[in-house]
Each structure stands twice: as C-alpha cells, then as structure tokens.
Amino acid sequence: MERSYKLPLVLEPQAEGGYTITCPLLPELITEADTLADVAPNVSDALAVVLEIYEDSGRRLPAFLGPVVATADLLLYTETLVPIRTLWLG
C-alpha cells in the first residue's frame, strides 16, 4: 500500500553539484539528489528504508509521522526558508 508523508526537508547544495537531503525531525533520513527532480523519489526510497528499520527494530514511529491523504497523483508540499533582514530584527 502506498502512503504519502509530509516531512520538513533540508536540501544542502554540494560544491560538486546536487544536494544532500536531511530531515530535522527524522535524523535517520539522509539521502542525496543530483537534481531537484530527483529529490522526491530519492527521499521516498530513503524514507521506506527508515520505516523498515523502525519496524524491524520494534521502534514506534515518531508521533508527528503520520500518512497524509494525497488528493492527486503527485503531492508536493514545500516550505521555503527566506532570509529577511530588517532593522527591528537586527
């Protein structure tokens, strides 16, 4: 059965190209992608491995990690870190 999960991801650009991808809420999830188009499938593969590790070791999944009902074949949720400099922030 296929499920979709909503996770915060950090994409760190690499000097040689591509990205290292981590999840601050799920430290076991670490993967790489050559392009932005590769991010979703690579994260999906990495998350499947992490879920299998949790299941095999008898660990409970973190409470925040619950499946999301997808309303389309392709579900993409993004949050973007935007640096803002104002006088009142310093």
For residue 80, being part of any structural domain is answered with: no
For residue 78, being part of any structural domain is answered with: no
Residue 56 sits in which domain range? 4-68
Measured CA to CA, the distance from residue 67 to residue 4 in angstroms comes to 5
For residue 82, being part of any structural domain is answered with: no
**Overall pTM > 0.85:** no
Helices (H) then strands (E): counts for the chain: 1, 5
pLDDT tens for 11-36 read 999 999 999 999 988 999 999 999 99
First-to-last C-alpha distance (Å) of the chain: 49
Helix (H, G, I), strand (E, B) or coil at 41: helix
CATH code for the domain in which residue 26 is found: 3.30.160.250
More confident call, 4 vs 36: 36
Domain count, the chain: 1
For residue 12, being part of any structural domain is answered with: yes
For residue 58, being part of any structural domain is answered with: yes
Residue 61 confidence class, pLDDT cut points 50, 70, 90? confident
